């Protein structure tokens, strides 16, 4: 069971008003989480909500840029980490996150927790990198591409470390999370197939065609 969950205070308050329970507790009592699953956002969570996530193996997919743009709040990621709740990072959709940039999401995950916890050491860069990679695979149940290993699918990106924002190579995880950019990406590969390399896309359609289609769609929507 995967659902947007407890994204806004009003959403949670409305559920409590109707059912006397938070969304997480309500869904759990309906046995919706008996086989695990995931919750997107999970910003306004009670201690009981978090306990349910831990006990039921519910992955939390945090979307910090969307939560900021919509003024939804800051998810308690540090608390979730301490409890051992499975964590992944998402972007939500383009309506609430125009950029859809995982590098920006990674930075915001750790930066917002530092502010929220008033602790500059909150949510280490290595934890964030794990959320963005193995965590994403775990949240989607993709156990065949969670890490780079023999027998797993070859899903990976290659990053150019010879750019100013990646130097010096003192701590690569921190370089990626705190100063990494999509401009550092040299190549992306899905199941052994290269889809992007050195500015060239290999997806069966050119970027120009995609841009033209997007602009046609937006013009049609504006008229409607």
Q: Give residue-wise pLDDT tens across range 21-52.
A: 999 999 999 999 999 999 999 999 999 999 99
Q: pLDDT at residue 224 above 90?
A: no
Instruction: Judge if 158 and 224 occupy the same domain.
Output: yes
149 within domain boundaries:
no
What's the chain's average pLDDT? 96
Residues 177 and 123 in one domain: no
Per-position b or e across 169-208, b if 16+ CB within 10 A of its CB? eeeeebbbbbebeeebbeebbeeeeeebeeeeeeeeeeee
pLDDT band at residue 187 under the 50/70/90 scheme: very high
With 90 as the cut, is the pLDDT of residue 6 above it? yes
Q: Which residues are CB-contacts of 107 (< 8 A; sequence separation ≥ 6)?
A: 177, 178
The residue with tokens 């407890």 is 6
| Separation CA 194–CA 203 (nearest Å) | 9
Res 125: pLDDT? 97
Domain extent at residue 12: 1-144
Residues 64 and 28 in one domain: yes
**Which tokens in the block code for residue 192?**
């052994």
**Is residue 92 domain-shared with residue 121, that is, in the same domain?**
yes
Own/partner pairs for 206-215, CB < 8 Å, 24+ apart? Answer: none
Please state the pTM of the whole predicted model: 0.93
**Domain of residue 23, CATH code:** 3.20.20.140
């Amino acid at each position: 069971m995967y659902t947007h969950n407890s994204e806004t205070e009003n959403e949670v308050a409305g559920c409590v008003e109707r059912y006397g329970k938070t969304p997480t507790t309500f869904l759990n009592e309906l046995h919706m989480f008996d086989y695990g699953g995931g919750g997107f956002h999970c910003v306004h969570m009670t201690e009981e909500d978090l306990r349910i996530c831990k006990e039921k193996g519910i992955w939390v997919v945090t979307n910090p840029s969307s939560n900021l743009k919509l003024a939804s709040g800051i998810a308690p990621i540090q608390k979730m980490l301490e409890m051992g709740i499975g964590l992944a990072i998402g972007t939500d959709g383009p309506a609430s996150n125009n950029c859809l940039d995982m590098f920006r999401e990674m930075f915001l995950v750790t930066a917002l927790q530092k502010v929220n916890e008033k602790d500059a050491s909150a949510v280490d860069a290595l934890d964030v990198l794990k959320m963005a990679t193995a965590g994403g695979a775990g949240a989607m149940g993709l156990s065949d591409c969670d890490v780079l290993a023999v027998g797993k699918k070859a899903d990976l990106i290659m990053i150019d470390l010879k750019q100013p924002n990646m130097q010096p190579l003192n701590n690569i995880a921190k370089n990626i999370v705190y100063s990494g950019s999509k401009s550092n990406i040299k190549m992306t590969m899905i199941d052994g197939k290269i889809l992007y390399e050195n500015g060239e896309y290999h997806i069966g359609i050119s970027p120009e065609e995609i841009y033209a289609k997007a602009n046609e769609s937006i013009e049609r929507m504006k008229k409607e």
